[in-house]
């Protein structure tokens, strides 16, 4: 057994041990989420040679935006914005983007039109926290947004992730004193 293969077998053993005790649905969600972090085309493929090198090196842009959206099946404009942001970040090496970049990519993907793209992007940032400001008029996808995209198209997995949504701290000026009526 080669040293490289031994490391792979050890890694697989750790993954299988981590999945013990989870339901089959949860196991699949964990594996899909892990694969989505790598990107749909980054997993091992059958064209690897005995030395572990890929015979046909894949590029991140191999999956089209249309196919990516078909795979993820976003059900809301906010989810669509998150998927487009994920695609720009991981398949187009564009981690900072404008709303226009998102709408242009949606057109390229022949996606369902986003009613009010500006509002959808604001909601993805302020309410859903899938996006975050990146300076100027640009945005970037958050880790939370990446987790949601990774869980798509499984609505149960998305709900589970949403339960753990980061909560915004409210800015307050301290405790207000109750006014007494006189």
DSSP state at residue 58: -
Q: What is the pTM of this model?
A: 0.62
pLDDT at 50: 42
Segment 13-23, tens digit of pLDDT: 788 888 888 77
How confident is residue 180, by pLDDT bands cut at 50, 70 and 90?
A: low
Residue 74 lies in a domain: yes
pLDDT at 6: 76
| Contact status, residue 96 vs residue 138, Cβ threshold 8 Å | yes
Higher per-residue pLDDT: 45 or 173:
173
Q: Is the pLDDT of residue 111 over 60?
A: yes
Residue 141 lies in a domain: yes
Residue 156 domain boundaries: 60-163
Provide the domain count of the chain. Answer: 1
**89: closest CA among 152, 146, 24?**
146
Residue 125 lies in a domain: yes
């Amino acid at each position: 057994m080669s040293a490289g293969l031994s490391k792979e077998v050890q890694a697989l053993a750790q993954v299988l041990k981590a999945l013990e005790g989870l339901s089959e649905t949860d196991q699949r969600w964990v594996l899909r989420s892990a694969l989505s972090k790598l990107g749909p085309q980054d997993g091992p493929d059958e064209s690897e040679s005995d030395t572990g090198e890929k015979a046909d090196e894949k590029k991140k842009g191999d999956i089209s935006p249309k196919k990516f959206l078909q795979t993820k099946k976003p059900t809301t404009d906010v989810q669509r914005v998150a998927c487009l942001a994920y695609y720009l970040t991981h398949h187009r090496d564009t981690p900072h983007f404008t709303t226009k970049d998102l709408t242009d990519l949606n057109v390229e993907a022949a996606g369902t039109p986003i009613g009010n793209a500006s509002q959808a992007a604001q909601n993805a940032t302020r309410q859903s926290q899938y996006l975050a400001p990146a300076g100027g008029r640009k945005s970037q996808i958050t880790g939370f947004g990446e987790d949601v995209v990774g869980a798509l198209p499984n609505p149960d997995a998305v709900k589970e992730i949403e339960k753990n949504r980061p909560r915004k701290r409210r800015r307050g000026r301290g405790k207000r004193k109750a006014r007494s009526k006189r």
